[in-house]
Amino acid sequence: MGDRIRNPQIGDLVVEDGARYPRRDPADTRLKGLGYLLGSRVEWSQTDEDHAAWLAEDPDAAGYPRSTVGAWYVQYGSQPDAICRWTNCSFVVVPIGRDMFREPVGTRDVNGVTITRADLLGSLADSGFNLNLPR
């Protein structure tokens, strides 16, 4: 079970390990580190344009391997643009029921599990998360 929690799969409800710490932007009250995992992959750490500019600046740099970074994509809200890209972080699965590890991830049929917003918020509040709910 521990391995499954530490290795989220696409479709899992996840939380970023540092999401419980204060946000950098106090005006942005959205909890972007909690949501559904859309995917993760290794990406270049520079854009193609930045990399080309770096090579043009320093021709000896062509001998160095291009650096990469692990990127995670999380859908934190219901709007299509409510997707956050995370790097230099780690995510864990939020267990949503005692049988969740018996169900295939991402099932949407009669055997799947449906989680309501109230279920999620209640579980997080019970776990000690500080929720910024409208008053």
Residue-range domain boundaries for the chain: 2-126
List, for residues 93-102, the tens digit of each pLDDT value: 888 776 666 6
Query: According to the model, what pLDDT value does residue 106 have?
Result: 43
Q: Name the range with the highest mean pLDDT among 5-19, 65-79, 88-102, 112-126.
A: 65-79
Which amino acid, one-letter code, is at 21?
Y
Residue 107 pLDDT: 43
* Per-range mean pLDDT, top range of 65-69, 108-112, 114-118: 65-69
Beta-bridge mates of residue 13: 36
Which tokens go with 106? Answer: 């991402």
Query: pLDDT tens digits for 60-102?
Result: 888 888 889 999 999 988 888 888 888 888 889 888 776 666 6
* 8 Å CB contact between 36 and 13: yes
Confidence of residue 49 (pLDDT cuts 50, 70, 90): very high
Predicted confidence (pLDDT) at residue 104 exceeds the cutoff of 80: no
> How high does pLDDT run on average in the chain?
76
- Pairing mode, if any, of strands 68-75 and 91-93? unpaired
DSSP for the chain, written as a single string: -HHHHHS--TT-EEEETTTTSPPS-TT----TTEEEEEEEEEEESS-HHHHHHHHHH-GGGGGSPPPEEEEEEEE-SSSTT-EEEEES--EEE---STTTTTSPTT--STTS----HHHHHHHHHHTT-------
Is the CB of residue 46 less than 8 Å from the CB of residue 57? no
Separation between Cα atoms, residue 123 and residue 95, nearest integer Å = 9
